[in-house]
Amino acid sequence: MKNKIGIDIGGTTIKGALFGANNEIVRECSRPTHGKAGREEIFSMLFSVIEGLESPDTPIGISSAGDIDPVAGRCVYATDNLMGWTGAEIAKTVSDRFGVPCVADNDAVCALKGELYFYPDCKNATMLTFGTGVGGASLVNGEILRGKRFNAGRWGHIVLYPDGRICSCGRRGCAEAYLSATALTARGRERIPALESCKQLFGLYEAGNAEAAELLREFGKELNLLLCDIRTAVAPDLILLGGGVMQSRDTVTELIGEQADVAFARLGSRAGVYGAVALLGDI
Protein backbone atom coordinates (compact mmCIF):
# COMPACT_ATOMS: atom_id res chain seq x y z
CA MET A 1 0.00 0.00 0.00
CA LYS A 2 1.34 3.43 -0.91
CA ASN A 3 1.04 6.40 1.41
CA LYS A 4 -2.48 7.65 2.13
CA ILE A 5 -3.91 10.47 4.19
CA GLY A 6 -6.88 10.17 6.54
CA ILE A 7 -8.68 13.28 7.80
CA ASP A 8 -11.39 13.50 10.48
CA ILE A 9 -13.45 16.73 10.56
CA GLY A 10 -15.19 17.11 13.91
CA GLY A 11 -17.11 19.98 15.39
CA THR A 12 -14.13 21.06 17.50
CA THR A 13 -10.98 19.65 15.90
CA ILE A 14 -9.78 18.51 12.47
CA LYS A 15 -7.36 15.61 12.84
CA GLY A 16 -5.15 14.20 10.11
CA ALA A 17 -2.74 11.32 9.77
CA LEU A 18 -0.33 10.17 7.08
CA PHE A 19 -0.33 6.39 6.75
CA GLY A 20 2.70 4.58 5.40
CA ALA A 21 3.11 1.44 3.34
CA ASN A 22 2.31 -0.92 6.23
CA ASN A 23 -0.82 0.98 7.29
CA GLU A 24 1.06 2.56 10.18
CA ILE A 25 0.74 6.24 11.11
CA VAL A 26 3.85 8.10 9.99
CA ARG A 27 2.84 11.67 10.86
CA GLU A 28 -0.11 13.44 12.51
CA CYS A 29 -1.45 16.98 12.45
CA SER A 30 -4.47 18.72 13.94
CA ARG A 31 -6.08 22.15 13.91
CA PRO A 32 -9.17 23.68 15.51
CA THR A 33 -12.18 23.35 13.21
CA HIS A 34 -13.53 26.88 13.84
CA GLY A 35 -16.88 25.33 12.96
CA LYS A 36 -18.90 28.40 13.92
CA ALA A 37 -16.87 30.61 11.58
CA GLY A 38 -18.35 29.19 8.39
CA ARG A 39 -17.43 27.09 5.37
CA GLU A 40 -14.41 29.07 4.15
CA GLU A 41 -12.73 28.93 7.54
CA ILE A 42 -13.43 25.20 7.92
CA PHE A 43 -11.85 24.56 4.52
CA SER A 44 -8.91 26.78 5.50
CA MET A 45 -8.29 24.67 8.61
CA LEU A 46 -8.73 21.47 6.58
CA PHE A 47 -6.15 22.62 4.01
CA SER A 48 -3.77 23.53 6.83
CA VAL A 49 -4.00 20.01 8.29
CA ILE A 50 -3.36 18.39 4.90
CA GLU A 51 -0.38 20.68 4.25
CA GLY A 52 0.92 19.94 7.75
CA LEU A 53 1.21 16.26 6.86
CA GLU A 54 3.87 17.18 4.29
CA SER A 55 3.06 14.48 1.76
CA PRO A 56 2.20 15.80 -1.72
CA ASP A 57 0.58 13.59 -4.37
CA THR A 58 -1.05 11.44 -1.67
CA PRO A 59 -4.69 10.23 -1.94
CA ILE A 60 -6.95 11.65 0.78
CA GLY A 61 -9.89 10.08 2.60
CA ILE A 62 -12.07 12.40 4.65
CA SER A 63 -14.36 11.63 7.57
CA SER A 64 -16.73 14.52 8.28
CA ALA A 65 -19.51 15.29 10.70
CA GLY A 66 -22.86 15.79 8.95
CA ASP A 67 -24.85 13.80 6.43
CA ILE A 68 -22.40 13.02 3.64
CA ASP A 69 -23.18 11.69 0.17
CA PRO A 70 -20.31 9.20 -0.20
CA VAL A 71 -20.62 9.00 -3.99
CA ALA A 72 -20.34 12.75 -4.57
CA GLY A 73 -18.28 13.47 -1.44
CA ARG A 74 -20.70 16.29 -0.65
CA CYS A 75 -22.18 17.37 2.69
CA VAL A 76 -25.95 17.07 2.28
CA TYR A 77 -26.74 18.45 5.73
CA ALA A 78 -24.82 19.65 8.78
CA THR A 79 -25.99 21.24 12.00
CA ASP A 80 -24.67 24.59 13.16
CA ASN A 81 -21.74 22.81 14.82
CA LEU A 82 -20.31 23.18 11.28
CA MET A 83 -21.84 26.45 10.15
CA GLY A 84 -22.43 26.64 6.40
CA TRP A 85 -21.10 23.12 5.78
CA THR A 86 -24.40 22.01 4.21
CA GLY A 87 -23.78 21.78 0.48
CA ALA A 88 -19.99 21.78 0.78
CA GLU A 89 -18.31 19.84 -2.05
CA ILE A 90 -15.72 18.31 0.24
CA ALA A 91 -14.06 15.73 -2.00
CA LYS A 92 -14.08 17.91 -5.15
CA THR A 93 -12.73 20.97 -3.36
CA VAL A 94 -9.87 19.04 -1.80
CA SER A 95 -9.12 17.09 -4.99
CA ASP A 96 -9.04 20.29 -7.06
CA ARG A 97 -6.73 22.05 -4.62
CA PHE A 98 -4.22 19.25 -4.12
CA GLY A 99 -4.56 17.40 -7.43
CA VAL A 100 -5.08 13.99 -5.84
CA PRO A 101 -7.97 11.50 -5.53
CA CYS A 102 -10.22 12.33 -2.58
CA VAL A 103 -13.27 10.57 -1.10
CA ALA A 104 -15.47 11.54 1.84
CA ASP A 105 -18.08 9.99 4.10
CA ASN A 106 -19.82 10.58 7.42
CA ASP A 107 -17.62 10.54 10.53
CA ALA A 108 -19.57 7.86 12.39
CA VAL A 109 -19.56 5.64 9.29
CA CYS A 110 -15.79 6.05 9.11
CA ALA A 111 -15.35 5.38 12.82
CA LEU A 112 -17.45 2.22 12.46
CA LYS A 113 -15.36 1.06 9.49
CA GLY A 114 -12.19 1.72 11.44
CA GLU A 115 -13.37 -0.17 14.53
CA LEU A 116 -14.69 -3.16 12.55
CA TYR A 117 -11.07 -4.06 11.82
CA PHE A 118 -11.21 -5.68 15.28
CA TYR A 119 -14.50 -7.49 14.49
CA PRO A 120 -14.00 -8.84 10.96
CA ASP A 121 -16.89 -11.33 11.19
CA CYS A 122 -19.47 -8.89 12.59
CA LYS A 123 -22.28 -8.10 10.12
CA ASN A 124 -24.63 -6.19 12.45
CA ALA A 125 -23.08 -3.38 14.47
CA THR A 126 -23.81 0.20 15.49
CA MET A 127 -21.22 2.88 16.23
CA LEU A 128 -22.02 5.89 18.41
CA THR A 129 -19.61 8.81 18.74
CA PHE A 130 -20.04 11.29 21.58
CA GLY A 131 -18.17 14.54 21.02
CA THR A 132 -19.29 18.04 20.08
CA GLY A 133 -22.39 16.25 18.76
CA VAL A 134 -23.56 12.65 18.77
CA GLY A 135 -22.83 10.69 15.60
CA GLY A 136 -24.21 7.31 14.67
CA ALA A 137 -23.86 4.66 11.99
CA SER A 138 -25.13 1.11 11.64
CA LEU A 139 -24.02 -1.94 9.71
CA VAL A 140 -27.06 -4.14 8.96
CA ASN A 141 -26.52 -7.52 7.31
CA GLY A 142 -23.09 -6.40 6.21
CA GLU A 143 -24.22 -3.12 4.61
CA ILE A 144 -23.99 0.43 5.97
CA LEU A 145 -27.49 1.71 6.70
CA ARG A 146 -28.21 4.69 4.44
CA GLY A 147 -31.18 6.59 3.08
CA LYS A 148 -34.47 7.14 4.89
CA ARG A 149 -34.62 3.81 6.71
CA PHE A 150 -34.24 4.50 10.45
CA ASN A 151 -33.06 7.99 9.48
CA ALA A 152 -29.87 6.44 8.02
CA GLY A 153 -28.57 5.58 11.48
CA ARG A 154 -28.44 9.21 12.65
CA TRP A 155 -28.97 8.03 16.20
CA GLY A 156 -27.90 11.35 17.71
CA HIS A 157 -31.14 12.82 16.39
CA ILE A 158 -33.54 10.17 17.60
CA VAL A 159 -35.96 11.87 20.00
CA LEU A 160 -35.61 10.78 23.60
CA TYR A 161 -38.01 13.37 25.03
CA PRO A 162 -40.72 15.08 22.92
CA ASP A 163 -40.66 18.81 23.70
CA GLY A 164 -37.31 18.34 25.43
CA ARG A 165 -34.15 20.42 25.20
CA ILE A 166 -33.43 22.23 21.95
CA CYS A 167 -30.95 20.40 19.73
CA SER A 168 -28.36 21.79 17.32
CA CYS A 169 -30.53 20.43 14.47
CA GLY A 170 -33.38 22.75 15.53
CA ARG A 171 -35.68 20.04 16.88
CA ARG A 172 -36.33 19.26 20.52
CA GLY A 173 -35.48 16.29 22.67
CA CYS A 174 -32.82 14.65 20.47
CA ALA A 175 -30.22 12.39 22.04
CA GLU A 176 -27.53 14.90 21.04
CA ALA A 177 -29.19 17.54 23.23
CA TYR A 178 -28.56 15.31 26.27
CA LEU A 179 -25.57 13.07 25.55
CA SER A 180 -22.99 15.15 23.63
CA ALA A 181 -20.02 16.76 25.36
CA THR A 182 -21.51 20.13 24.44
CA ALA A 183 -24.84 19.28 26.06
CA LEU A 184 -23.29 17.75 29.17
CA THR A 185 -21.11 20.79 29.74
CA ALA A 186 -24.06 23.17 29.29
CA ARG A 187 -26.26 21.11 31.61
CA GLY A 188 -23.44 20.92 34.13
CA ARG A 189 -23.07 24.70 34.20
CA GLU A 190 -26.72 24.98 35.24
CA ARG A 191 -25.72 23.23 38.47
CA ILE A 192 -21.98 24.01 38.67
CA PRO A 193 -21.53 27.51 37.16
CA ALA A 194 -17.72 27.31 37.13
CA LEU A 195 -17.69 24.08 35.11
CA GLU A 196 -15.32 24.34 32.14
CA SER A 197 -15.60 21.01 30.33
CA CYS A 198 -17.20 17.62 30.09
CA LYS A 199 -13.89 16.07 31.21
CA GLN A 200 -14.02 18.17 34.36
CA LEU A 201 -17.58 17.02 35.00
CA PHE A 202 -16.48 13.38 34.98
CA GLY A 203 -13.57 14.29 37.25
CA LEU A 204 -15.94 15.88 39.75
CA TYR A 205 -18.14 12.78 39.65
CA GLU A 206 -15.15 10.57 40.41
CA ALA A 207 -14.20 12.93 43.27
CA GLY A 208 -17.66 12.52 44.83
CA ASN A 209 -19.30 15.83 43.84
CA ALA A 210 -23.06 15.50 44.46
CA GLU A 211 -24.20 17.76 41.60
CA ALA A 212 -21.98 15.96 39.10
CA ALA A 213 -23.20 12.60 40.37
CA GLU A 214 -26.85 13.58 39.95
CA LEU A 215 -26.32 14.83 36.40
CA LEU A 216 -24.25 11.84 35.27
CA ARG A 217 -26.75 9.40 36.73
CA GLU A 218 -29.31 11.11 34.47
CA PHE A 219 -26.82 10.78 31.60
CA GLY A 220 -26.58 7.05 32.25
CA LYS A 221 -30.36 6.63 32.13
CA GLU A 222 -30.61 8.66 28.92
CA LEU A 223 -27.79 6.72 27.27
CA ASN A 224 -29.57 3.49 28.15
CA LEU A 225 -32.75 4.86 26.57
CA LEU A 226 -30.83 5.45 23.34
CA LEU A 227 -29.28 1.97 23.45
CA CYS A 228 -32.71 0.40 23.90
CA ASP A 229 -34.12 2.37 20.96
CA ILE A 230 -31.25 1.18 18.74
CA ARG A 231 -31.75 -2.44 19.77
CA THR A 232 -35.44 -2.19 18.97
CA ALA A 233 -34.80 -0.61 15.57
CA VAL A 234 -31.90 -2.62 14.11
CA ALA A 235 -31.01 -5.36 16.66
CA PRO A 236 -27.21 -5.05 16.42
CA ASP A 237 -24.97 -7.77 17.75
CA LEU A 238 -22.53 -5.09 18.88
CA ILE A 239 -22.86 -1.44 19.92
CA LEU A 240 -19.60 0.50 20.00
CA LEU A 241 -19.22 3.67 22.08
CA GLY A 242 -16.58 6.20 21.05
CA GLY A 243 -15.70 9.88 21.15
CA GLY A 244 -14.35 12.14 23.87
CA VAL A 245 -17.20 11.56 26.33
CA MET A 246 -16.35 7.85 26.37
CA GLN A 247 -12.77 8.35 27.55
CA SER A 248 -13.96 7.73 31.13
CA ARG A 249 -14.81 4.13 30.36
CA ASP A 250 -14.99 2.86 33.93
CA THR A 251 -17.34 5.65 34.93
CA VAL A 252 -19.59 5.18 31.90
CA THR A 253 -19.76 1.44 32.59
CA GLU A 254 -20.70 2.19 36.19
CA LEU A 255 -23.43 4.56 34.99
CA ILE A 256 -25.04 2.23 32.42
CA GLY A 257 -24.12 -1.15 33.90
CA GLU A 258 -22.25 -4.02 32.25
CA GLN A 259 -23.93 -4.92 28.94
CA ALA A 260 -22.82 -7.90 26.88
CA ASP A 261 -23.48 -6.25 23.51
CA VAL A 262 -21.78 -2.93 24.35
CA ALA A 263 -18.05 -2.29 23.87
CA PHE A 264 -15.86 0.80 23.84
CA ALA A 265 -14.05 1.90 20.69
CA ARG A 266 -10.43 0.75 20.64
CA LEU A 267 -9.01 3.35 18.27
CA GLY A 268 -10.05 6.28 20.45
CA SER A 269 -9.74 9.66 18.77
CA ARG A 270 -8.03 8.03 15.76
CA ALA A 271 -11.05 5.93 14.69
CA GLY A 272 -12.15 8.55 12.16
CA VAL A 273 -8.77 8.84 10.42
CA TYR A 274 -8.41 5.06 10.21
CA GLY A 275 -11.91 4.80 8.72
CA ALA A 276 -11.20 7.67 6.32
CA VAL A 277 -8.18 5.82 4.96
CA ALA A 278 -10.30 2.67 4.62
CA LEU A 279 -12.56 4.65 2.25
CA LEU A 280 -9.70 4.85 -0.23
CA GLY A 281 -9.62 1.08 -0.76
CA ASP A 282 -7.07 0.18 -3.42
CA ILE A 283 -6.51 3.73 -4.68
**What's the predicted TM-score (pTM) here?**
0.86
Helix (H) or strand (E) run with residue 104 in it: strand 102-106
- Torsions phi, psi for 26 (to 5 deg): -95, -40
Predicted local distance difference test score (pLDDT) of residue 148? 64
210/132 Cα distance (integer angstroms):
25
13 pLDDT above the threshold of 90: yes
Predicted local distance difference test score (pLDDT) of residue 152? 63
86/150 Cα distance (integer angstroms):
21
85/160 Cα distance (integer angstroms):
26
- pLDDT, one tens digit per residue, over 128-179 is 999 989 989 999 999 998 876 656 678 999 999 999 999 988 999 999 999 9
For residue 150, give Cα distances in angstroms to 140, 233, 234, 264.
Answer: 11, 7, 8, 23
Q: How confident is the prediction for the chain on average, in pLDDT?
A: 94
130/176 Cα distance (integer angstroms):
8
Predicted local distance difference test score (pLDDT) of residue 153? 72
Can you tell me the mean pLDDT for 171-194? 96
- pLDDT, one tens digit per residue, over 31-84 is 999 999 999 999 999 999 999 999 999 999 999 998 899 999 999 999 888 999
266/256 Cα distance (integer angstroms):
19
Residue 67, Cβ density class (10 Å: 0-12 exposed, 13-18 middle, ≥19 buried): middle
Bridge pairing between strands 143-144 and 134-140:
antiparallel
179/216 Cα distance (integer angstroms):
10
Predicted local distance difference test score (pLDDT) of residue 151? 64
- pLDDT, one tens digit per residue, over 205-232 is 999 999 999 999 999 999 999 999 999 9
